[in-house]
Structure 1
Amino acid sequence: MKRYELVIFDWDGTLMDSVGKIVACMQQTATELNMMVPSETAIRDIIGLSMDEALNVLHPMACTKTREEMISVYRQQYLQLNKTPSPVFDGAEELLLALKASGHALAVATGKARAGLDRVLTETGFSTHFQASRCADEAKSKPHPQMLNELLKQLNIAPEKAIMVGDSIHDLNMASNAGIDAIGVSYGAHTAKRLTEANPIAIVSSPLAMLPVITGKM
C-alpha cells in the first residue's frame, strides 16, 4: 500500500462534531431574519463550502445586504448564543498523535474562515498538531483544489504522497481535482452512500479506523 507523507484533514464533521451546531445556527439565523428555513439535509449539503458559496446554495435570491446580515447573525449564534455541544470526535487526537509519531505531516483544509479555525485550534489544543492550514477566506471554495495545491507547494509534497480526509462530498471532490487520494468519513455531514460517488480509497466510521488505511499497517 502507498506510503503517504502528508495527511490533510477537513475540520467540521471530520475532526470536530460540529455538524449539529452548524445546522441549528443556520436555521436560527433564517428564523431571526424571517427567511425560509432550510432543511437539515440542505444545510448538511453545504457544510465544507465557504460561507458565500453556502448562502448561494441555501438563499440564492438574497441580496448582498441580506447576506451580510445573515453572516453577522450566524456568527453571533455560533460564537455566543447557540449552546449545541461541538466536541472533537472520540479518537481524533489519538489519531493525530499516532500519525505524527509515524512521521506523517499533518495539515487542515477547511470551509471555516481563518479566525474560526484559529479559535477552535486554540480551544481544542490541536494547534501544535498541524504544520499548515488553509481556510475558505484564503482560497477558492471547495471543491476547487486551490487549498490543497497551496498546501502541497508549501510543504513540498507531491500529490501522490498526500491524502485528504473529509466528511463531505466537497472535500473528496476537492481531493480528486487536486489529483490526490481521499478517505471519506461517514460520521459527519454526508452518508457513506453519498461519499462513494467521489470514489475515495476508503470510507471509515470512526477516526481511528482510518489509521491502518493511511499507514498501510492493516
Structure 2
Amino acid sequence: METLKHNNKYEYAPASHPFMQEARAEAYKSGCGSRQIGAVIVNKETVIARGHNARDRVSSPCPRAIQNIPSGIGYNLCPECIEENHTEADALRNARLAGVDTENGEMYIFGHWWACESCWDKVRSAGITKIYLVKRAREMFQERGVLSGKRWYQAPINLFIFDWSGVISDDRKPVYETTARVLKQFGKIMPVFDEFLKSATMTALEYYRKNDISEDADLLLKLFRKYFNEAVKNGNKPTIYAHAPSVFGQLTANDKKIAILSSHPEKFVEREAQEYGIDQYITHIRGGSRNKETDLQNILTHFQTQNKHALYCGDTIHDIRAARAAGIRSAGIGSGYHSKEQLAAENPDFLFDTLLELTSLL
C-alpha cells in the first residue's frame, strides 16, 4: 500500500490481473489525446460498472498537454478534463445508471498513477473501499503523459509491422513437433505443449541454447528447416489465423503499409503467405531475424518512416521488448505463443485477444 497525493492510500495489482485488464480495455475507448484512462468497479469478484475519461470526445490534442501543464492542475483549460469527465466519475455514473450496488466494492484504474481529491470523495461516498493502480503506475504513465510530452496517441500509424508465427500464421503445432525432434536428437527432454508455448524464445536457436545444445548454429537451423518441412509434408501444416485476410485488406484499403518481421525462415514466410493468399498485401518481408530490434530499425529506414508512425504486432514478450528497444509502439496479440497475461506484464501499448481487434486503431 502506498500513500500518494491528498494522503489517500492505494493498493496495487499487476498489469496482468484480470480486473486490471478489464480497466485497460476500457482505457482504449478514451477520446483523450494525452491520457487514456479506464476503470472498472468490482463487487463480489464481478465487474459491475466501467468508465473512461473524455467519453464524448473524438480523439484530439489536449490543450493542457500542448501547454505541458502538469497532472492535477489546469482542468479548466480543457472541457474534457473537468472532474465530471474523469474516469472515476464516469464509472460511478455508469454504476448509478445501471442501478448496481457499489457498497464495499473496489475500483481498478489503468492509465494513471493517482486520483484527484474530487474523485476520491466520489469514490468514498459510493462506499468503495479500495482503489487499485497498476504496479509501477507512476513510472509507466508519466512516460505517456504531459510530464514527458510523449503524446503517442496523436500520431497516426502508417506502417504496420507483423511478427509471423503466432500472429498471422498459427504454426505452433508443427514448430512443437520440429523442436521436439531437434531436442530428442541431442538427448534433451521436450516439455508438454503448453509449457513449451510459455517458454518460447525469440528464435529457435535461442531455445536450443536455452536447453544446453551448443552445436553449430547453422547446423541447428538446418535441422529446424528439415524437420519443419517434414512435419508439413506429413500433414502437420501451419494455418492462417482466420481474421488475417480481413485485417490486411482493411489496412490496405486505408493506405497503410504492411511489413513482416519474423525469426521464421524467410522462404517459409514467403511460401506460407502465397499459400494463404495474402502475399499481395505485404510490401516487405524480413525473415530469419536474429535481432528484431536492429531489424525493426532497418525496416523503418527502408520505408523512410518515423518511429512514432510505426507499430509492431507480436505474440511474445520478446516482440514487445524489441519494439520498446527500437522506440516504436507495440501491440500484443494474445492468441499465439505467449498468453495474454504474459504479454500484459510487458505493458505493450495495445493488447488484443485476437488480430481482428487491431482494426480498432484505424
Task: Give me the TM-score of the superposition, normalised by structure 2.
Answer: 0.53
Equivalent residue, structure 2, for 1:64: 215
Identity between Structure 1 and Structure 2 (%): 19
2:304 aligned with 1:153, yes or no?
no
- Does residue 55 (structure 1) correspond to residue 208 (structure 2)? The answer is yes
Asked if residue 83 in structure 1 is aligned to residue 235 in structure 2, the reply is yes
State the partner residue of 2:196: 43
2:250 counterpart residue number: 98
Deviation, 1:108, is 0.6
Deviation readout 1:27-76 (Å, 9 max, x if unpaired): 1332344332244355325646233223212x22x2325x6554444323
CA distance in structure 2 between the aligned counterparts of 1:93 and 1:37, rounded to whole angstroms? 34
Per the alignment, residue 178 of structure 1 pairs with 326
Q: Which has the higher contact order (CA 8 A, sep 6+)?
A: 1
Structure with the bigger percentage of strand: 2
Structure 1 CA distance for aligned equivalents of residues 262 and 345 of structure 2: 21
Deviation at 1:177, TM superposition (A): 0.5
State the distance in 1 between where 2:215 and 2:259 align.
33
Q: How does 1:178-197 map to 2 (within 5 A)?
A: 178-197=326-345
CA 4–18 in structure 1, closer or farther in 2 if over 3 Å, else same? same
69-78 or 188-197: bigger deviation:
69-78
Deviations 1:69-125 (A, max 9, x none): 544443232112353242101111100000010111110110112222222222223
Question: Over aligned residues, Cα RMSD in angstroms?
Answer: 2.1
1:201 and 2:201 aligned: no
Shift of 1:202: 1.9
Pick the aligned partner of 1:74 from 201, 224, 228: 224
Q: Name whichever of 154-163 and 39-48 sits farther off.
A: 39-48
- What is the one-letter code of the residue matched to 2:184? T
Unaligned 5+ segments in structure 1 are: none
Quote the Cα distance in structure 1 between the aligned partners of 2:318 and 2:309: 21
Matched residue, 1:115: 267
State whether residues 33 and 70 of structure 1, in contact with CA within 8 Å, keep that contact through their aligned partners in structure 2.
Answer: no
Q: Which moved more, 1:114-123 or 1:169-178?
A: 114-123
Which sections of structure 2, spanning at least 5 residues, go unmatched? Answer: 1-152
SS of the residue corresponding to residue 198 of structure 1 reads coil
Once residues 155 and 70 of structure 1 are traced to their aligned partners in structure 2, the CA distance between those partners, rounded to angstroms, is 33
- Counting matched residue pairs gives 207
Q: Say whether the 8 Å CA contact 1:135–1:147 is kept in structure 2.
A: no
- Please state how far the C-alpha of 1:201 moved relative to its aligned partner: 1.9
Q: How does 1:115-134 map to 2 (within 5 A)?
A: 115-134=267-286
CA distance in 1, matches of 2:294, 2:342: 23
Q: What is the SS of the residue equivalent to 1:177?
A: helix
* Cα shift at 1:156: 0.5
Counterpart code for 1:36: I
Match of 1:24 in 2: 177
CA 1:94–1:107: 2 relative to 1, 3 Å: same
Secondary structure, counterpart of 2:260 in structure 1: strand
C-alpha contact 1:3 1:161 (8 A) present in aligned 2: yes
Task: Indicate whether 1:166 and 2:314 are aligned.
Answer: yes
- 1: CA distance, partners of 2:199 / 2:280: 28
**Matched residue type, 1:76:** K
- Contact residue 331 and residue 349 of structure 2 kept, 8 A: yes
